[in-house]
Structure 1
Amino acid sequence: MTNSSTSLQSKLSLNVYVTPMRPMVGTPPQGPGDEPIWSPMSSTLIYGEHDAILVDTLVTFDQVDALADWVKSFKKRVTTILITHGHSDHWIGLQQLLKHFPGVRTMARPAVRDRAQFEATNPTLRKYWQGIFPGEIGENPTVPDGTTETFVELEGHRIDLIDIGQGDTEHTTIMHIPSIAAIVAADVVYNQVHMMTGETDEQSRQKWMDNLDRIAAMNPQIIVAGHKRVGTSDGPENIAESKKYLADFSRVVKENETVEAIVQAMLTLHPNRDNPRVVWHSARQAVAKRT
């Protein structure tokens, strides 16, 4: 937890909740590390003396209930739930979370809200999520409200909602909290977890790396990744490490023809990150894009 204050404003603090890797229902493994596992995920609580803002929601009923209990332990009034991007694992828990915090404002920038709405109504994606976590998520998920606001205030402190663009999906919002030199970076930055590149090609990965440079130029001292290993620090070194991973992946894809060779090369370069299943998925998508 990091605190910052001014003479006229209450302190802001930031704390991160991380739910660990979780087994899911999925296709049988095709090689070492391809067991069906969902990556660890983070939700961030930004709070002052009285009020708080929560960023992202987790997925399953038990994850969301545990998150809500954790939030309640801070004894703050939650005013807003911000959503960073439209991938369902970052907002699909909203319906369950609002049972704990009824009437709380939900906010997502327009492109993020549109992607969430697409995922909420697309039959294939709905079947996918119900299939990998059967009975563990709601059948009719609540989509966050869209907003054109570019910042929110918390007890006199500004939190900027920056449409950074490309991360592991095309439209991502990061939350910049200047008063504590912190950025909640969503899935633009990863922290000791294999990076999901399945929606990218070489060109969009370059945009992703450029966005990592943009984040680094903001000189954050705290950088919260959307997927982070339990117990890891939220230091700025994760920006450069994420950029290196993406550069490695693009090079490895060029140098290797098969899914298995790409996976082996990436696991040799990055042997200690959580959830190699993600590497298998990303490698399959990279090979498929060649045809």
Structure 2
Amino acid sequence: MSSDALTVDVYVAPMRPFAGAPAQGPGDDPMWSPMSSTLIAGAEEAVLVDTLVTLDQVDALAEWVRGFKKRVTGVYITHGHQDHWIGLARIQEHFPQARGIATPEVVERARFEATNPQLSAYWKAIFPGELPQTAVLPQPLDGDQFELEGQVLRAVSVGQGDTEFSTVLHVPSTAAVVGGDVVYNGVHMMTGETDEKSREAWIASLDAVAALNPKIVVAGHKSVGAPDLPESIGASQHYLRDFSRIVNEQGSVEDVVNAMLKLHGDRDNPRALWHSARTAVAKRG
């Protein structure tokens, strides 16, 4: 086994349309945010972090991975949202030795999403004919770390991200963190599962990521070409604070969207912002 530092390379699937409800305003067209899958590699073996969604996205990811000429032995899943694990079945067609792994809490959330009739129908409806027919779930990790060619990879359960029970994967040998949907980079943040209190918990989760002192931070949803720098941690916190403040200050969904766009209009996929604003205004009552 090697004691050399591992390498971290990032693949980003660009923003793409999906079969969603019609736009209710400018920028609300049904688009899926750009998203990443990360290859952590040693001399001979590698682990992927998170899958993509559709069959064609996973096929393109697999072709990219093959260029590194590594044996893919595992796929670590950061959290239970289907866009980060539904491609596991397809990945395993390309790399049969790649065992899906996640913390027990993430496995249970993935199981819920796979078996809940409403959620399962939702994903099939927005990506019709583009998903694996049979879901393959990750298996629960025994403990909070595993090894790749003698180097430790740490599953850090931070709690609240854009969903509960979120984790990040810490790669100490390269001072890297693969942040799943705890960290966003150049993309509007999906806050639909949060309220003001849980957004404060999300900000605290980002503090926990910063405490790892990473030099490389890979966001689950990131703009194509965006650098994987730790500044995305603070930028994500800034976005969440602005969103909570604006939801409290503004009236309609359109008011929230317009106020956020004045501050964060350079981020990809305002559809995510529209969805988040609709959810927040509904919760406000």
Pick the TM interval, shorter chain.
over 0.9
State the one-letter code of the partner of 2:276: S
Q: 2:202 aligns with which of 191, 203, 208?
A: 208
Matches within 5 A, 1:215-230: 215-230=209-224
- Identical positions, percent: 60
| CA deviation map 1:181-229 (0-9, x unaligned) | 1000110110000000000000000011011112112211000000000
Quote the RMSD (CA, aligned, Å). 0.9
> Is 1:116 aligned to 2:116, yes or no?
no
Deviation, 1:241, is: 0.4
Match of 1:42 in 2: 36
State the one-letter code of the partner of 1:227: H
Matches within 5 A, 1:270-289: 270-289=264-283
Matches within 5 A, 1:234-249: 234-249=228-243
After superposing the two structures, state which structure 1 stretch, 211-220 or 185-194, moved more.
Answer: 211-220
CA–CA distance in structure 2, aligned partners of residues 149 and 47 of structure 1: 21
Match of 1:152 in 2: 146
2:20–2:30 Cα contact (<8 Å) kept: yes
Secondary structure of 2:168's aligned partner: strand
Secondary structure of 2:140's aligned partner: coil
Match of 2:175 in 1: 181
> Is 1:88 aligned to 2:82, yes or no?
yes
Match of 2:246 in 1: 252
Secondary structure of 1:62's aligned partner: helix
Deviation, 1:139, is: 2.8
Stretches of 4+ aligned residues off by more than 3 angstroms = none
2:5–2:174 Cα contact (<8 Å) kept: no
1:107–1:146 Cα contact (<8 Å) kept: yes
State the one-letter code of the partner of 1:46: I
1:16–1:43 Cα contact (<8 Å) kept: yes
2:203–2:240 Cα contact (<8 Å) kept: yes
1:11–1:49 Cα contact (<8 Å) kept: no
Number of residue pairs matched by the alignment? 284
CA–CA distance in structure 1, aligned partners of residues 133 and 48 of structure 2: 23
User: What is the TM-score with the length of structure 1 in the denominator?
Assistant: 0.96
Deviation, 1:257, is: 1.8
Secondary structure of 1:42's aligned partner: strand
State the one-letter code of the partner of 1:237: E
Match of 1:5 in 2: none
Deviation, 1:23, is: 0.5
State the one-letter code of the partner of 2:149: E
2:72–2:97 Cα contact (<8 Å) kept: no
CA–CA distance in structure 2, aligned partners of residues 68 and 78 of structure 1: 10
1:39–1:227 Cα contact (<8 Å) kept: yes
CA–CA distance in structure 2, aligned partners of residues 138 and 49 of structure 1: 31
Matches within 5 A, 1:7-22: 9-22=3-16
Match of 1:76 in 2: 70
Deviation, 1:11, is: 3.2
| CA deviation map 1:160-192 (0-9, x unaligned) | 111111000011111111111100011011000
2:107–2:138 Cα contact (<8 Å) kept: yes
Deviation, 1:288, is: 1.2
Match of 2:188 in 1: 194
Gapped runs of 5+ residues in structure 2? none
Match of 2:134 in 1: 140
CA–CA distance in structure 1, aligned partners of residues 4 and 132 of structure 2: 38
| CA deviation map 1:52-85 (0-9, x unaligned) | 0110010000000011111111001111110000
State the one-letter code of the partner of 1:181: A
Deviation, 1:290, is: 2.0
State the one-letter code of the partner of 1:198: G
> Is 1:264 aligned to 2:258, yes or no?
yes
Match of 1:171 in 2: 165
Deviation, 1:117, is: 0.4
